């Protein structure tokens, strides 16, 4: 498996001949975006690669469509150039066309001539504190595996805090590689409440799901992140050694075998 971190949540996944792109964000830095309910962010870093560097792509895995740090204008334009988009059920209704909407634990199978089928299962995600879904909207993660297999899973957490839905991931899946969205997001309007994982939470999730490798993403490039790599690593330093050694920080723009 080869992963190329483009920036933010955007990752090119190359597995068994498939080329999959997560949460496409390709706008240049400097612009501010509203997320609604008095929240928003400014993009502070551009992508390491352009859409032209990455195409062709077989499918986009979109954890949610309604926040610009997961789907910005340039990323939205890219969707028309990709055969399949898999996202949340409300997101598929908003996007229209052939977008496939999944609720947690629903699956779809990707099929393409010359490639082995690939099953994509939506996994639970909660993009904030308890009872926040009516405000922050629906988000999912994704589990990728060969149909019928229970091991060798690539799990992409999506924007989520650590909550009991992630325990279901550990119970149902044998995760090999976990891509965790970090950043420790907070907003002035909601004080100390978090909307994505911190390094401490990531360590708990890694201990729970026991992947071979953990790849942190979505912790840089936006002003609403309250914990970048350095802060996450400080918290991870307190985790047991067998948890720490699983974490692998990949260089942006560089294809990395995991």
* pLDDT-derived band at 149, boundaries 50, 70, 90: confident
Q: Quick one: pLDDT at residue 196?
A: 97
What average pLDDT does the chain have?
96
Per domain, the residue ranges of the chain are: 2-29+37-251
Outline where DSSP puts E strands in 37-169: 39-42, 59-61, 84-88, 100-102, 107-110, 118-124, 140-145, 153-156
Give pTM, 2 decimals: 0.96
226 burial via Cβ count (<10 Å: 0-12, 13-18, 19+): middle
Peptide bond into 19 cis (omega under 30): no
Q: Quick one: pLDDT at residue 37?
A: 84
User: How is domain 2-29+37-251 classified at the architecture level of CATH?
Assistant: 4-Layer Sandwich (3.60)
On the question of pLDDT at 253 being above 90, the answer is: yes
* pLDDT-derived band at 189, boundaries 50, 70, 90: confident
Rounded Cα–Cα distance for residues 250 and 258 (Å): 10
DSSP H stretches of helix in 138-253:
164-172, 199-209, 229-236, 241-244
Of 168, 238, 256, nearest in space to 205 by CA: 168
CA angle 18, 21, 27 (to 5 degrees): 155
Span 94-117, mean pLDDT?
96
135 burial via Cβ count (<10 Å: 0-12, 13-18, 19+): middle
Burial 70-102 (b: 16+ CB within 10 A, else e): bbbebbbebbeebebbbbbbebbeebeeebbbb
What is the CB neighbour count within 10 angstroms for residue 204?
A: 16
First to last CA, the chain: 6
For 21-51, how does the pLDDT look when each residue is reduced to its tens digit (9 = 90+)? Answer: 999 999 999 999 999 888 999 999 999 999 9
């Amino acid at each position: 498996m080869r992963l190329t971190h483009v920036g933010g949540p955007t990752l090119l996944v190359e597995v068994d001949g498939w080329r999959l792109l997560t949460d496409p964000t390709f706008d240049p830095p400097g612009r501010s975006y509203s997320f609604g309910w008095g929240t928003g962010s400014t993009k502070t870093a551009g992508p390491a690669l352009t859409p032209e560097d990455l195409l062709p792509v077989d499918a986009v895995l979109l954890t949610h469509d309604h926040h610009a740090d997961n789907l910005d204008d340039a990323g939205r334009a890219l969707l028309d150039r990709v055969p399949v988009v898999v996202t949340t059920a409300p997101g598929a209704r908003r996007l229209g066309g052939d977008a496939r909407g999944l609720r947690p634990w629903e699956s779809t199978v990707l099929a393409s001539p010359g490639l082995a089928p690939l099953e994509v299962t939506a996994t639970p995600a909660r993009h904030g504190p308890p009872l926040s879904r009516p405000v922050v909207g629906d988000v999912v993660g994704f589990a990728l595996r060969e149909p019928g297999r229970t091991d060798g899973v690539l799990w992409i957490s999506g924007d989520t805090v650590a909550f009991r839905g992630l325990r279901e991931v550990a119970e149902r899946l044998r995760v090999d590689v976990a891509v965790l969205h970090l950043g420790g997001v907070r907003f002035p309007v909601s004080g100390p409440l978090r909307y994505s994982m911190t390094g401490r939470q990531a360590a708990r999730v890694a201990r729970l799901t026991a992947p071979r490798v953990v790849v942190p993403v979505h912790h840089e490039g936006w002003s609403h992140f309250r914990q970048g790599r350095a802060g996450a690593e400080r918290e991870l330093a307190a985790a047991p050694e067998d948890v720490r050694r699983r974490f692998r920080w990949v260089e942006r723009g560089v294809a990395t075998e995991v």
